[in-house]
Structure 1
Amino acid sequence: MNPASRARRPLSVAAAASALGLLLAGCTSAVSVASAPHAADPACASVVLALPEVLGDLELLDTTSQASAAWGSPEAAVVLRCGVDAPPPTTDRCVTVETPGGPSVDWVTVAGEPDADGATDWTFTTYGREPAVELLVPAAVTAGHSTSFVDQLGPAIALVEPTRSCL
C-alpha cells in the first residue's frame, strides 16, 4: 500500500463512522406532536429556544412539529405546544405558578378522567398570554410524578408578555 492511500484510509474510516452515527441517530423516534394553529408566531421560537433540557427528572426529546417540545419517554411524553388559541375568560381553575427566583405564570388547569389506577391526564394552558402555550401531562406521567415541574417553564413562558391574569 502506498503512503498516499494509507493517509486517506483513516479519513475514510472516520467518515464512515460519522455517517453511521448520523444514521443511528436518525433511528431515534421523535414524539409525534400536532402543530398548534399559531406555531409560526415568532414569540414561539423564543419560548422553545429557552425551554429547559430537563423538566423535573424528564429529559427533552425530539418532536415532529414546529414550536413544540416533549420530555420523558416517547410512549408517555409531557408535550408542550406553543401557539395554541388563548383561552377566553373561563370558569376552569386558573392558578398562578411562582417560578423560584423568577416570573409567575398563570395557567388554566383542566384534569381529564382518572384511569383505572386513578392517575389523571392534565392540560395546562397559559392564561393572558398570546400566543398561548399548552402543556399536556399524560396520566402515565402523573402516576409517578407531581406536576410541580410546571414552574420550571416560567422563564421561557415569560418571554411572552402577559396581557391579563387570573382573578
Structure 2
Amino acid sequence: MLRLPSRPSRVRRLGAVSAVAAALGVAALTGCAGQVPMHPAEDANNPACADVIVRLPDTVAEQKKRTTNAQATGAWGEEAAVQLVCGIEPSGPTTDTCVNVNGVDWVIDESSAPIYRFEAYGRSPGLAVYVDGEQVSGTDVVVDLSAVAKELPQERKCTSLGDTLDLTKPQA
C-alpha cells in the first residue's frame, strides 16, 4: 500500500515517489488492457475524497480517464501518465516550490524527475497527483485538476518569506 508520510523526509519521499514511478511503469506495460493498478491512501474512505472522485474530469492534460482498482484514485493516459490519490496525510511546512493555480496551492516535489509529485497543499484530506513529465505537462495537469482539489477543505496556505516579515518596521 502506498503510504505518504505527513512530514516526509527527502529519503522517505524518494521511496514513495519511486513506488509511484514503479506503478507508472507497470501501468505502461498494461497499456489500455484494463484497470490501472493503484493503492488507496490511508484515509481513502473519507467522504471528502468521494466528493473529489465523482467530479474527476474525463480528460486531464488531453489524456483520457482510465479506471483504477483502488478507492479514491484516478488515472489518465494510455500509460497512466497522471495518477491521483486522495486521502493522503497532508504534508506540513516545506521548502519545496509552491504555486497557486486557480485558487489551489500546489507543492511540487521534483526530487524524482521526470516523475513529479504535486500536492494540493493545506487541504484535508490530502491529495497528491503524480505526473510523468516526459508524457504530459504538470502545469496542464494542475490546471485541469484544481477545480476538484477545491472540493477538499483548505486548512493552510503557502506562504513566502515576504509574507512573514513585517516590512512596515525599519530594518536594523
The TM-score normalised by the length of structure 1 is: 0.71
Q: Which amino acid is 2:96 matched to? A: D
Q: Does 1:153 align with 2:136?
A: no
Q: Does 1:166 align with 2:165?
A: no
SS of residue matched to 1:60: strand
Separation (CA, whole Å) in 1 of partners of 2:120 and 2:137 = 19
Which segments of 5 or more consecutive residues in structure 2 lack a partner in the other structure?
Answer: 1-31, 160-172
Q: How many angstroms does 1:112 deviate by?
A: 3.3
Q: Which amino acid is 1:163 matched to? A: E
Paired residues for 1:68-83 under 5 Å: 68-73=73-78, 75-83=79-87
Structure 2 residue aligned with 1:58: 63
Tell me the C-alpha RMSD between the 2 structures.
1.5
Q: How many angstroms does 1:144 deviate by?
A: 3.9
Separation (CA, whole Å) in 2 of partners of 1:28 and 1:123 = 25
Separation (CA, whole Å) in 2 of partners of 1:77 and 1:62 = 13
Tell whether the 8 Å contact from 1:94 to 1:166 is kept in structure 2 after alignment.
Answer: yes
Q: How many angstroms does 1:28 deviate by?
A: 4.0
Which segments of 5 or more consecutive residues in structure 1 lack a partner in the other structure?
Answer: 1-26, 99-103, 115-119
Structure 2 residue aligned with 1:84: 88
Separation (CA, whole Å) in 2 of partners of 1:59 and 1:77 = 10
SS of residue matched to 2:50: helix
Query: Which consecutive aligned stretches of 4+ in structure 1 deviate over 6 angstroms post-superposition?
Result: none
SS of residue matched to 1:152: helix
Percent identical:
36
Tell whether the 8 Å contact from 1:130 to 1:160 is kept in structure 2 after alignment.
Answer: yes
Structure 1 residue aligned with 2:98: 94
Q: If you compute each CA radius of gyration, which structure gives the higher value, 1 or 2? A: 1
Tell whether the 8 Å contact from 2:68 to 2:75 is kept in structure 1 after alignment.
Answer: yes
In the alignment of these two chains, the number of paired residues is: 127
Tell whether the 8 Å contact from 1:31 to 1:77 is kept in structure 2 after alignment.
Answer: no
Match of 1:136 among 127, 130, 134: 130
Q: How many angstroms does 1:29 deviate by?
A: 1.4
Separation (CA, whole Å) in 2 of partners of 1:110 and 1:123 = 5
The TM-score normalised by the length of structure 2 is: 0.69
